[in-house]
Structure 1
């Protein structure tokens, strides 16, 4: 089995389509189809179910996908270890929730890139669980997520503690009355939304209209113009509250605090780019937890 076969297989799994994988790899579709069939012939077992609407992994395909991610990641690390072990340079791919990326990372990334301009840093935003899975599957080098995790393959640093607040348009109101307004959030996997739902149950608010938005900026603008209310980190809205564009209210203590953690795989090859990033992280933020 060659690494090239695994890369093609991995692309098909990631894209969920031979056509999309071929486009992403820059191959013709027939070439990708032939390589997948050759791989199945070598293994003497089908890796995909061919369906009318696409493909899905067989149990054997699911097993191979786990090993393919691991093997290809180790090959990448072997390459990186020969090129990026001394002076900080090369790729560094990080993930972060939208609120952390907006409120805290600019002050961290600006001095880092100024000190190490040869590092090719990429930042991907998403939900905490998705980011954690991408780190575990070697798709991200590290990520900032909400709340500590307990996973044997992950190392974590407690970076900071956020305070969640209820935000509304800049009009004074009773917080209890605001709970009957529409709530503006990301999708159902948003941790702030999960806490809000638990809080509303305690308040016996059962009929809640939740409007889903694709970005933090859209949520905040929607709240400021009166579409509804939301629960967000105070750091994300501090400036707008000070400018009078939003009003914020405290929420119950049990739902108020969110810990932001920086996670990475224990078995990752620690490049100098990653080492320097962690060093700056520890200097910039005061709360640390190994």
Structure 2
């Protein structure tokens, strides 16, 4: 069934005349008549009482009129939702690494401006979230960067410093060989930096314990179970009150950048464009397309 046929049907019903409907729609009368007959054939029932002065809806026609008004109204609503640049709506699926310090401010501002958007957040590690953006399972994601991928566009969100986090104030590199490392699962950008540093220094950790959430990791560190690596900003409050202590790692492993990524050849919806605009407004950075790898 063609939606335009429903529009023709409504116009004929309004005027109770094929000729008047054809005049309003700028169609030839034979085309209007043919479309009404096709509609009746599809529904397997007459829709009008026909008489010399025109045609009026029968019972089945009145039923269809009610349904057609609802259908066409919904279609207009759908068009407005996608065409309205100032009032995006729908679901926006965003991936996050849990320690993005700028995220609450971005989300709060976006929610205030666009209350009709439903934000769906999925936590994960960088490699996992990158793959889900590439596979178009997520609209975008906050991950540890930079990322060099031919299908990815990115915008810098924040630069931070990574620190080793322990329960006690005293720390030496040898502690890594005697205490467990409490880390996110494989694919975490912070973990990758730590492993690169340890490899260069020839440090072999006593044990690596993998966790999926920030709360579990930092709670375990505070309990004295082991050592972790995190952005300094994510543990600033705990460090200030003495719950944990932070220790620097050397350059170039210390600096970490959080970026927002999206698949560059995916259709950029108004909803996602407004989200990117909010990030850029908060960070002063513009979405940067990465050169293709050669």
TM range (shorter): 0.5 to 0.7
Cα contact 2:160–2:255 (8 A) shared by 1: yes
Aligned CA distance change for structure 1 residues 80 and 142 (closer, same or farther; 3 Å): farther
Q: Verify the 8 A CA contact 1:96 1:123 in the aligned structure 2.
A: yes
1:176 and 1:132 mapped to 2: Cα distance? 32
Counterpart contact for 1:156–1:262, Cα < 8 Å: yes
Q: 1:134 to 1:189 in 2, by over 3 A?
A: same
1:255 corresponds to: 253
Structure-1 residue corresponding to 2:278: 280
Quote the offset at 1:81 in angstroms: 7.1
Mapped to 2, the partners of 1:118 and 1:195 lie a distance apart of 39
**Alpha-carbon spacing, 1:208–1:284, altered in 2? closer, same or farther (3 Å):** same
Do 1:160 and 1:287's aligned partners in 2 also have CA atoms closer than 8 Å? no
Change (3 A) 1:285 1:127: same
Pair 1:92-2:117 in alignment? no
Q: Is the 8 Å Cα contact of residues 153 and 287 (structure 2) preserved in structure 1? A: no
1:216 aligned partner? 214
In structure 1, list runs of 5 or more residues that go unmatched.
1-78
- Give CA-to-partner distance per residue, 1:39-92, whole Å, 9 cap, x none: xxxxxxxxxxxxxxxxxxxxxxxxxxxxxxxxxxxxxxxx98773231211111
Displacement, 1:157?
A: 0.9
Gaps (5+ residues) in structure 2? Answer: 1-76, 289-294
Which residue of 2 is the match for residue 49 of structure 1? Answer: none
- Residue 276 of structure 1 and its aligned partner are, at CA, apart by 1.6
Query: Which contiguous aligned blocks of 4+ residues in structure 1 show a shift greater than 4 angstroms?
Result: 79-82
- Tell me the alpha carbon deviations over residues 126-160 of structure 1, each in whole angstroms, 9 at most, x when there is no partner: 12121111111111111111112222222111222
Go from structure 1 to structure 2 and tell me whether the alpha carbon gap of 1:82 and 1:133 turns closer, same or farther (over 3 Å shift): farther
Distance 2:162 2:109 in 1: 27
Q: What's the CA shift string for 1:9-39, capped at 9, x where partnerless?
A: xxxxxxxxxxxxxxxxxxxxxxxxxxxxxxx
Partner of 1:241: 239
* CA separation of 1:202 and 1:153: change in aligned 2, threshold 3 A: closer
Structure 1 counterpart of 2:187: 189
Q: Is the 8 A contact 2:125 2:184 kept in 1?
A: no
Q: Show the 5 A alignment for 1:58-207.
A: 83-86=81-84, 87-100=87-100, 103-169=101-167, 171-180=168-177, 181-207=179-205
Q: Could you tell me whether the CA contact under 8 Å between 2:128 and 2:187 is conserved in 1?
A: no
Q: TM-score, normalised by structure 1?
A: 0.67
Q: Tell whether the 8 Å contact from 1:159 to 1:288 is kept in structure 2 after alignment.
A: no
SS of structure 1 residue aligned to 2:99:
helix
Partner in structure 2 of residue 15 of structure 1? none
Q: How far apart, CA to CA, are the structure 1 residues paired with 2:114 and 2:137?
A: 23
Q: Which moved more, 1:160-169 or 1:260-269?
A: 260-269
The TM-score normalised by the length of structure 2 is 0.66
Looking at structure 1, the residues matched to 224 and 249 of structure 2 have their Cα atoms a distance apart, in angstroms, of 20
Partner secondary structure for residue 185 of structure 1: strand
Q: CA RMSD in A?
A: 2.0
> In 2, are the aligned partners of 1:99 and 1:236 still within 8 Å (CA)?
yes
Tell me the secondary structure at the aligned position of residue 253 of structure 2: helix
CA distance in 2, matches of 1:176, 1:153: 39
CA contact 1:128–1:146 (8 Å) conserved in 2 = yes
